[in-house]
Amino acid sequence: MTTVSTGVVSAAEGWLAQDPDPETRDELTALLARVSDGDADSAAELADRFASRLQFGTAGLRGELGAGSNRMNRVLVAQAAAGFAAFLVRREEKPSIVIGYDGRTNSDVFARDTAEIMAAAGVAATLLPRALPTPVLAFAVRHLDASAGVMVTASHNPPRDNGYKVYLGGADHGSQIVSPTDGEIAEEIERVAATTSVLDLSRSDDYATAGDDLVMDYVRLTAAVAGTPAGREKQPRVVYTALHGVGWEVARRVFATAGFTEPIPVAEQAAPDAAFPTVAFPNPEEPGAMDLSFETATRVGADLILANDPDADRLAVAIPGAGGAADPAWRQLTGNEVGALLGWRAAERLTATSTTGSLAASIVSSPALREVARQYDLDYVDTLTGFKWVSRVDGLAYGYEEALGYLVDPAKVRDKDGISAAVDMLALASELVTQGSSLAEHLRAFDARFGAFASSQVSLRVSDLSEIPRITSGLRASVPTEIGVHPVERLDDFAEGFEGFPPGDILRFWLSGDERHDGARVIVRPSGTEPKLKVYIDAWSTTGDAVARREAADAVVADLDAGVRELLR
């Protein structure tokens, strides 16, 4: 029988006494009653809810909705808002903040709570006018010259999750927070949680609500990414999905302002719906998430599919061709393929305008962008994983990460932006159609010019987080001499820091090339958001024509994929 400590019960009762939300109060009251009756499952659940606390970090807060310190709820959000307000008031004489929210359950409630608490604490607060994409909030922080921003969203997490993403203006230029700032904010939040009932926090309705002119400014500047209509007289037939998120309203306005024919929406997924009824997991990378897009595109004879995740900061792209088992008629491009094409386009833009700038990608993203930068004589920077790092690169002209995140207009926003990436991709596709080409042919042209770059990813989910450092320690202690049939040339170990990167549990293996390919690499790191060990595999070839290069790179990745799975087994 599972028992629960008196400390956990006491924490739950203290939480209940300050919870302003009747739904979570009722939920917790019923749970405590079941625990009192001796129900073992309820005791385990109560312990899970209160034995720890959702940690505030560089990604802010994110977790499952529900009562308790280890869940997302109004108590936790009020403590976070009060702590963040204290940080801002201590940091600046006249701080300001802009607050946005998406269509998830309680996003609007959490946003209003934040606005009221910020306003009462002396922070000039502006609330976005309705549920809007994360990129609009990131844009507003810079556009309004705000000290900070909060976006209430869980992005592409499961339906029952929500989150609290934090940005800083000023010297941070509207990027997401990084260490040590996250720790300083977390200390203030912990102080509030330890000393103050959220019912005693001052609140004020003296906050502003932004008008639609702010959204229109975002639309106008984002549409400008597409450039002039010259050279794109023809347009592909496009299907768009918002995956039940908040992307469609703003995306369609951007497409129209840029001069594109309105895409055909996946009707079942166009409007925000916190239940996400047509997908098991609202992430376009997950199996099944794009199925309705494939069906719609096949039915209407589309040439291109564009998909934003629920808060529209990521972009997925699919083109006609030999796809996978889900739908052989469609091939979903990888984040690295889209990243390479948009990076090539960014390099062409810089060259055409005689402008300098840096290209950047996270270290787990494909080496393809580095080669683009080399051939165009542009600076290139590898960053740690996460757009909070990509967005901070000096002189950034374009950045991406393989998990479908792209930043094509850093002068406007300093975070990944799935809508600006979508309009840039649509402009590219239109130009290619006008020239009698296609995205598939453009990918082959990339292979011919820069080399073929192939990639894959292996994830090992663990039930015990201690398994991850055990595995990586084992790889350090006994470095493999080969992975698959490919010899390991060297290992970069980031444990004590490496080439300017801070210490981290990251291993990067470099593998020898042969007569068909130039080399390969395998990166092993823990997931930052899930109980997983993640392995990123890349190989490249500049030998032979584009077809031979692609075949060689794909074959090496397939062998390394099998080798990694054997190594981890």
* Buried residues in 496-525 as b, exposed as e (16+ CB within 10 A): eeeeeeeebbbbbbebebeeebbbbbbbbb
Cα Rg of the chain (Å, integer):
24
Task: Phi first, then psi: give them for residue 141, nearest 5 degrees.
Answer: -60, -45
Question: Which residue in 42, 107, 147, 155 is the catalytic one?
Answer: 155
How distant, in Å, are the alpha carbons of 55, 188, 191, 194 from that of 83? Answer: 13, 4, 7, 11
| CB neighbourhood size of 185 (10 A) | 24
Beta strands in 405-501 (DSSP E): 405-407, 452-461, 482-483, 486-493
Residues 370 and 513: their CA atoms lie apart, in Å, by: 18
Residues 6+ apart with CB under 8 A from 34: 42
* Buried residues in 51-61 as b, exposed as e (16+ CB within 10 A): eebbebbbbbb
Beta strands in 363-445 (DSSP E): 379-383, 396-401, 405-407
SS (H, E, C) 504-525: CCCEEEEECCCCCCCEEEEEEE
Residue 189: enclosing H or E segment and its boundaries? helix 181-195
Residues 469 and 475: their CA atoms lie apart, in Å, by: 10
Q: Are 124 and 95 in contact (CB under 8 A)?
A: yes
3-state secondary structure of 107: helix
Half-sphere exposure of 415 (CA within 13 A, CB side): 29
**Residue 463 designated active-site:** no
Residues 172 and 142: their CA atoms lie apart, in Å, by: 10
Q: Which residues are catalytic?
A: 155
